[in-house]
Amino acid sequence: MNWRIFIARNLKFGRKLTRLHHLNAILFLVLTVTGFVLFSSFYRTTFPGSRVLIKDFHVWIGILSMLPVLFYMPKMTKHLKTLRKRKNHRLNLYTVLSILAALIISGLLLTYHRQIPPQLSSFALIVHDLATWLGVPYVIYHSVTRSQWFKNIGKTRQEKMRITPMLIDRENPILKRRSFLRVLTGGVLAVIFLPLFGNWLKPYLPTMAGSSSPKTDGNKFDPLPQPKNPEPIGGGRKGQFRNYTVTEVPTFTDENWHFTIDGLVKKRQKYNWREFVKLKRSVQVSDFHCVTGWSVYNITWEGIPLKNILQDSGIDQRANYVKFYSGDGVYTDSLTIDQAMQDDMIVAVLMDGELIPGQNGGPVRLITPKMYAYKSVKWLNRIELIENEHVGFWEQRGYEKDAWVRS
């Protein structure tokens, strides 16, 4: 790559386009890498502390990436004229521009997701993912098959050919070899990206949507709490969870599971599973919003209202906050007493009439419908009343303390 073209002035039209093209390629590469890090569950577990920094970086580079597109726009008509006879180049241009437009618009919506309705941000997230799953392999294919290396494969042969011309021109071995390599490149990319894409797509396929409770649930609980209603009163949830964890998914059994309420309470409580499922439950239907943009609607939760748990243990005068512990041993979060006393804060045991799957934080998780789900501690097994503020797992790493869902 010729770096001087980034600073040179008075370039010819072609060089100007090359400059924009290179700039675009660099930004796309950085966005792909940071986007992958944000998406991957491996990095969520390994480097949770850099998430917010990487997200901000991704957003800023994303905004910068609008510049080459904007500079290109006025040049487009002239460029198209030069491509009059090159149908494939035109097709490539339209493909790339559509992918970029989809990524930029959905990316902007996701950046401002707190100002838009959750339905729109869920949609933007799906578009952003889809454009990535199609766009990244396309761009890699494009970079390989248009690279100097790829062109040279032909050239060296061509030079040899000039010395010993082939008799049958149509059977040109260079073209054969290149189209073979093109198919090979496409094949390798398909082998790499199809499984990843399939994994992403699976929950959205209608045939699988109903039976989305995972087959491999390490949790074993007996007796099973019976739902109040045979059918979920919300009619069954709509939308897909993305399962997040910052540890391995922990597993529990009715033998080793306990639930504790302690700290600044009048009477400390410790339940085993048998005792816990006898506590009086209530049912509610609510939506579930993740701060990364996705939502699940109309989930029927059955569980013990947090308010009842707190009142039954008796809140000490000195208590100002409620701290929630996950059975994964790492994740925690907290609410003020006032927030915790809200009616729809619930310690959930059943989701749509079934035991909460281990992936979704079962057997017991906190549900905070009016707040982002990072407050919704999975594998909840301890509630502690405390005097001083406790900063939760993600809030310590840059998430906003104010988790209220607006709009």
Q: What x-and-dash track marks residues 289-308 binding ligand MTE by CB under 6 A?
A: -x------------------
SS3 357: coil
- Site residues (CB under 6 A) for ligand MTE, limited to 172-211: none
Say how far residue 208 (Cα) sits from the centre of its chain: 20
Asked whether the beta carbons of 295 and 305 are under 8 A apart, the reply is no
Closer residue to Mo ion in complex, CB, 55/281: 55
Part in contact with Mo ion (CB under 5 A); list of ranges 66-74, 208-216, 275-283, 373-381: 373-381
Q: If contact means CB under 5 to 8 A according to the sort of partner, which of ligand MTE, Mo ion, none does residue 16 touch?
A: none
SS3 239: coil
Under the binding rule (CB under 6 A), the answer on residue 395 touching ligand MTE is no
Q: Which of 301, 331, 374, 399 binds Mo ion (CB under 5 A)?
A: 374
Part in contact with ligand MTE (CB under 6 A); list of ranges 163-171, 222-230, 371-379, 383-391: 371-379
Part in contact with ligand MTE (CB under 6 A); list of ranges 77-85, 117-125, 236-244, 383-391: 236-244
Q: How far is the CB of 321 from ligand MTE (least distance, A)?
A: 18
Asked whether the beta carbons of 113 and 293 are under 8 A apart, the reply is yes
| Cα–Cα dist 72/16, whole Å | 9
Strands (E), 267-403: 269-272, 282-289, 295-305, 321-326, 332-336, 346-351, 354-355, 365-367, 380-386
Q: Which of 373, 383, 385, 403 binds ligand MTE (CB under 6 A)?
A: 373
Per DSSP, the residues of 43-112 read HHHH-GGGHHHHHHHHHHHHHHTHHHHHHHGGGHHHHHHHTTT-HHHHHHHHHHHHHHHHHHHHHHHHHT
Under the binding rule (CB under 6 A), the answer on residue 361 touching ligand MTE is yes
Closer residue to ligand MTE in complex, CB, 132/360: 360
Under the binding rule (CB under 5 A), the answer on residue 290 touching Mo ion is yes
Give CA angle at 23 (22, 27), nearest 5°.
Answer: 115
Asked whether the beta carbons of 367 and 376 are under 8 A apart, the reply is yes
Q: What x-and-dash track marks residues 251-290 binding ligand MTE by CB under 6 A?
A: ---------------------------------------x
The total of other beta-carbon atoms located within 10 Å of residue 276's CB is 19
Q: How far is the CB of 233 from ligand MTE (least distance, A)?
A: 20
Site for ligand MTE, rule CB under 6 A: 241-246, 290, 326, 328, 331, 360-361, 373-374, 376-379
